[in-house]
Amino acid sequence: MPYQAEHLHENDLIALYKNMLYPRMIEEKMLILLRQGKVSKWFSGIGQEAISVGVTMALKSDEYILPMHRNLGVFTTRKIPLEQLISQWNGKASGFTKGRDRSFHFGSQAHKIIGMISHLGPQLGVADGIALAHKLQNKNRVTAVFTGEGGTSEGDFHEALNVASVWQLPVIFCIENNGYGLSTPTNEQYYCKDLADRAIGYGMESYIIDGNNIVDVFTEVKAIAESIRQNHRPVLIEFKTFRMRGHEESSGTDYVPNSLFETWKTKDPIDNFEQFLQSKSVLSEDLKNEIKTEFSHIINEAIATSFEESDIIPSKSLELNDVYQQFKYQEVIVNNNFNSIRFIDAISESLKQSMERHDNLIMMGQDIAEYGGAFKITKGFVEQFGKDRIRNTPICESAIIENAMGLSIAGMKSVVEMQFGDFISSGFNPVVNLLAKSHYRWGQNADVVIRMPCGGDVGAGPFHSQTNEAWFNKTPGLKVVYPAFPYDAKGLLATAINDPNPVLFFEHKALYRTIQQDVPEDYYTLPFGKASVVRKGEDITIISYGASVHWALNTLDKHQDISADLIDLRTLQPLDTEAIYDSVKKTSKVIILQEDSLFGGIASDISALIMEHCFEFLDAPVKRVGSLETPIPFTKNLENQYLPKERFEIALLALLAY
Ligand SMILES: Cc1ncc(C[n+]2csc(CCOP(=O)(O)OP(=O)(O)O)c2C)c(N)n1
Distance 152 CA to ligand 1 centre (A): 10
Cα distance between residue 5 and residue 40, in whole Å? 39
Cα distance between residue 15 and residue 22, in whole Å? 11
- Give the contacts of 545 (CB within 8 A, at least 6 positions apart): 482, 484, 568, 569, 570, 572, 594, 602
Residue 366: CB atoms within 10 A of its CB come to 20
The CB of 150 under 6 Å from ligand 1? The reply is yes
The CB of 105 under 6 Å from ligand 1? The reply is no
Question: Which residue lies with its CA nearest to atom 4 of ligand 1?
Answer: 119
Cα distance between residue 619 and residue 538, in whole Å? 13
pLDDT band at 152 (very low <50, low <70, confident <90, very high): very high
| pLDDT at site 250 | 82
| pLDDT at site 286 | 98
Cα distance between residue 311 and residue 540, in whole Å? 51
Annotated active-site positions, please?
Answer: 464
The CB of 243 under 6 Å from ligand 1? The reply is yes
Strands 390-392 and 338-342 come out as unpaired
| pLDDT at site 39 | 79
Nearest to 641 by CA among 655, 625, 627: 627
* Residue of 123, 182, 428 best suited for mutating to test ligand 1, as the one with most atoms within 8 Å of CB: 182
- CB-based contact 529:571 (threshold 8 Å): yes
Nearest to 163 by CA among 204, 197, 134, 195: 204
| pLDDT at site 37 | 83
pLDDT, tens digit, for every residue of 176-228? 999 999 999 999 999 999 999 999 999 999 999 999 999 999 999 999 999 99
Nearest to 358 by CA among 403, 323, 407: 407
Question: Which residue lies with its CA nearest to atom 26 of ligand 1?
Answer: 119
The CB of 170 under 6 Å from ligand 1? The reply is no
| pLDDT at site 298 | 98
The CB of 181 under 6 Å from ligand 1? The reply is yes
Q: What share of the chain is helix, strand, coil (3-state, %, to 5)?
A: 45, 15, 40
- CB-based contact 406:125 (threshold 8 Å): yes
Q: Which atom of ligand 1 is nearest to the CA of 152?
A: 15
| Helix H or strand E encompassing 604 | helix 602-614
pLDDT, tens digit, for every residue of 288-317? 999 999 999 999 999 999 999 999 999 999
The CB of 546 under 6 Å from ligand 1? The reply is no
Q: Is the pLDDT of residue 243 over 80?
A: yes
* Residue of 146, 184, 244, 247 best suited for mutating to test ligand 1, as the one with most atoms within 8 Å of CB: 247
Question: Which residue lies with its CA nearest to atom 9 of ligand 1?
Answer: 182
Q: Is the pLDDT of residue 230 over 80?
A: yes
pLDDT band at 41 (very low <50, low <70, confident <90, very high): confident
| pLDDT at site 335 | 85
Question: Which residue lies with its CA nearest to atom 24 of ligand 1?
Answer: 119
| pLDDT at site 344 | 98
- CB-based contact 450:416 (threshold 8 Å): yes
Q: Which atom of ligand 1 is nearest to the CA of 119?
A: 26
Q: Is the pLDDT of residue 569 over 90?
A: yes
Distance 151 CA to ligand 1 centre (A): 6
Q: Is the pLDDT of residue 14 over 90?
A: yes
| pLDDT at site 169 | 98
Distance 5 CA to ligand 1 centre (A): 34
Question: Which residue lies with its CA nearest to atom 17 of ligand 1?
Answer: 148
Cα distance between residue 115 and residue 434, in whole Å? 11
Handedness of CA 154, 158, 164, 170 (dihedral sign): positive
Cα distance between residue 513 and residue 202, in whole Å? 40
Residue 437: CB atoms within 10 A of its CB come to 22
The CB of 120 under 6 Å from ligand 1? The reply is yes
pLDDT mean across residues, the chain: 97
Distance 307 CA to ligand 1 centre (A): 30
Q: What is the mean pLDDT of residues 245-270?
A: 95
Cα distance between residue 395 and residue 418, in whole Å? 10
| pLDDT at site 326 | 97
Q: Is the pLDDT of residue 229 over 90?
A: yes
C-alpha gyration radius of the chain: 28
Q: What Å distances lie between residue 365 and 362, 395, 445, CA to CA?
A: 10, 9, 21
Q: Is the pLDDT of residue 573 over 90?
A: yes
Cα distance between residue 370 and residue 387, in whole Å? 9
Q: What is the mean pLDDT of residues 26-41?
A: 88
pLDDT, tens digit, for every residue of 330-352? 999 998 899 999 999 999 999 99
Distance 163 CA to ligand 1 centre (A): 23
Q: Is the pLDDT of residue 604 over 90?
A: yes
The CB of 70 under 6 Å from ligand 1? The reply is yes
The CB of 119 under 6 Å from ligand 1? The reply is yes
Residue 572: CB atoms within 10 A of its CB come to 26
Cα distance between residue 81 and residue 299, in whole Å? 11
pLDDT, tens digit, for every residue of 57-102? 999 999 999 999 999 999 999 999 999 999 999 999 999 999 999 9
What is the secondary structure of 22-39 as a DSSP string?
A: HHHHHHHHHHHHHHTT-S
Q: How would you label 398-435 residue by residue, b for 16+ Cβ within 10 Å and e otherwise?
A: bbbbbbbbbbbbbebbbbbbbbbbbbbebbbbbbbbbb
* Residue of 120, 177, 244 best suited for mutating to test ligand 1, as the one with most atoms within 8 Å of CB: 120
| pLDDT at site 643 | 98
Q: Is the pLDDT of residue 40 over 90?
A: no
3-class DSSP state of 109: helix
Range list of β-strands (E), 296-358: 338-342
The CB of 149 under 6 Å from ligand 1? The reply is yes
Proportion of the chain above pLDDT 70, given as a percent:
100
Strands 571-573 and 532-535 come out as unpaired
pLDDT, tens digit, for every residue of 457-494? 999 999 999 999 999 999 999 999 999 999 999 999 99
The CB of 304 under 6 Å from ligand 1? The reply is no
pLDDT band at 20 (very low <50, low <70, confident <90, very high): very high
Distance 383 CA to ligand 1 centre (A): 44
Proportion of the chain above pLDDT 90, given as a percent:
97
| pLDDT at site 251 | 86
φ/ψ of 85, rounded to 5, equals -60, -45
DSSP structure class, residue 195: G
